[in-house]
Amino acid sequence: MRLKTFQAATMTEAMDLVRQSLGDEAIIVSTFTHRNGAGVEITAAIEQQSEDDFATPEAQALRYGQGNGRLFVPEDDFAPQDEQHVGDLILGALNWHGVPGRVAERLTQAALRVGLDDPVGALAEALDETYRFPGLSTDNRPLILIGPPGSGKTVVAAKIAARCVIERRAVQVVSTDVSRAAAGEQLAALCRVMSAPFIEAVDARELHHVVGETAETSKLIVDTAGINLHDAAERKALKALIQASGAEPVAVLAAGTDAMEAGELAAQAVALGARRYVATRLDAARRLGALVAAADLGGLAFADASASAFIGKGFERCDALMLAHRLLADPDARSAVDPETDMQYFSPKPAALKAAE
């Protein structure tokens, strides 16, 4: 989704700007008339189409619910030499991303059993068989976002709220992050732009009261402070907030972190009741081993992913095919195994090579 604000002297002129910039399919999110005849302001949104520019044409054409129920259908002429190439490519890429060794070996073996000469398709099948990809629910089930500091919970909360606004669904955003000075101001400002109700709750008792005052027809989104999930006292305080909210805890974890650490954080989130997680910073991280580890070692299911800090861009659907694309997209990941020497190596970017000279 893409959000954009337009200013003009009259409502008619502002609407013309919306149509010229976003087209006739744009949805009006909010309008505001300035005092003393200073003009009007309109915030509009439009769904953005993402391009799988790193996907093969065959991969782009095959999605869930087609063929015999699988993501891909193997070719009849799949040969042993193709199997060796596919296995080396997948294992090398997973190792390059920092996926734990045993997990990488298991996924590679699962991919080879698929019987495809397309690495993306084979890996997608293996991921689909191994993990769950339920996505974020679009109903009014209340959500409370949990995770370590800096993982992107506030941005995720704002994106969920933006989705509700665009779909013309009632929403209530709550922040319990009182650990930092003016911590809720960012989320409050984003909610004002979207005309989404926002309130702060300082503790579990106040949060329980806010939840009781929220209409059942409203989507409740609770943003919490980042905590050390390894600390028992901080987990206890967070658990009190989760119980007071009555909401489903959804973990938020950033890509690019250490895979084993992400797996342990995911396990702590599961102990607090989380069953799904939102992956963030996909636009800023190259190595995505943490995403696989959170699902494998921690046991979390994949929800949507955030590939941009821009609220209007919304989420990227995280399914097995999308994850396989990203794991094999980087040229360095695809060349992580030299077919001539069968040796794994890290191929630095041109900037890294220049710096080393």
The pLDDT assigned to 300 comes to 94
- Angle formed at CA 245 by CA 189 and CA 296, multiple of 5 degrees: 90
Query: In terms of domains, do 192 and 95 share one?
Result: no
Within a domain: 335 = no
**pTM confidence score:** 0.74
Q: Are 336 and 87 in contact (CB under 8 A)?
A: no
With 90 as the cut, is the pLDDT of residue 60 above it? Answer: no
- Angle formed at CA 266 by CA 177 and CA 219, multiple of 5 degrees: 50
pLDDT, one tens digit per residue, over 235-286 is: 999 999 999 999 999 999 999 999 999 999 999 999 999 999 999 999 999 9
pLDDT, one tens digit per residue, over 29-56 is: 666 676 666 677 777 766 544 333 333 4
Query: In terms of domains, do 110 and 182 share one?
Result: no
Query: In terms of domains, do 292 and 270 share one?
Result: yes
The pLDDT assigned to 103 comes to 94
Within a domain: 263 = yes
DSSP label at 193? H
Query: In terms of domains, do 80 and 204 share one?
Result: no
Structural domain range at position 215: 143-315
The pLDDT assigned to 36 comes to 61
Q: Please, which residues have CB within 8 angstroms of residue 1's CB and are 6 or more apart in sequence?
A: 45, 46, 47, 48, 162, 163, 166, 312, 313, 314
Residues in the chain: 357
Within a domain: 248 = yes
- Dihedral (Cα; 166, 168, 170, 176), 10-degree rounding: 0
pLDDT, one tens digit per residue, over 102-155 is: 999 999 999 999 888 889 889 999 999 999 999 887 788 899 999 999 999 999
| Alpha helices in 142-184, H assignment, sequence order | 153-166
pLDDT, one tens digit per residue, over 151-210 is: 999 999 999 999 999 888 999 999 998 776 566 788 888 888 888 899 999 899 999 999
Distance CA 163, CA 279 (A): 17
Query: In terms of domains, do 174 and 289 share one?
Result: yes
Query: In terms of domains, do 206 and 266 share one?
Result: yes
Query: In terms of domains, do 178 and 67 share one?
Result: no
With 80 as the cut, is the pLDDT of residue 99 above it? Answer: yes
pLDDT, one tens digit per residue, over 302-334 is: 999 999 888 888 898 899 999 999 999 888 877
Sign of CA dihedral 134, 305, 141, 3: negative
Query: In terms of domains, do 65 and 24 share one?
Result: no
Sign of CA dihedral 256, 261, 264, 265: negative
pLDDT, one tens digit per residue, over 244-256 is: 999 999 999 999 9
Q: Where residue 293 sits, what CATH number does that domain have? A: 3.40.50.300
At 165, list the tokens.
């606004």
Within a domain: 211 = yes
Distance CA 198, CA 60 (A): 40
Instruction: Count how many domains the chain has.
Output: 3
Q: Residue 342: beta bridge partners?
A: none
With 50 as the cut, is the pLDDT of residue 62 above it? Answer: no
The CA distances from residue 170 to 32, 140, 167, 197, in Å, are 19, 9, 9, 9
The domain boundary, picked from 91, 107, 132, lies at 132
Query: In terms of domains, do 124 and 159 share one?
Result: no
Instruction: Please measure the distance between the N-terminal and C-terminal CA atoms of the chain and give it in whole angstroms.
Output: 43
pLDDT, one tens digit per residue, over 326-354 is: 999 888 877 766 544 344 434 444 444 44
Query: In terms of domains, do 27 and 157 share one?
Result: no
At 335, list the tokens.
């060349």
The pLDDT assigned to 302 comes to 95
Give the residue-averaged pLDDT of 48-69: 38
The pLDDT assigned to 123 comes to 94
Within a domain: 169 = yes
Query: In terms of domains, do 41 and 61 share one?
Result: no
Query: In terms of domains, do 173 and 282 share one?
Result: yes
Q: How many CB atoms lie within 10 A of CB 24?
A: 7
Backbone angles phi, psi at 70, to 5 degrees: -85, 165
Give the residue-averaged pLDDT of 67-76: 54
Within a domain: 345 = no
With 60 as the cut, is the pLDDT of residue 57 above it? Answer: no
Residue that has been written with the tokens 């997608």 in this structure: 124
- HSE of 139, CA atoms in CB hemisphere, 13 A: 4
Distance CA 8, CA 13 (A): 6
Residue that has been written with the tokens 């809720």 in this structure: 184
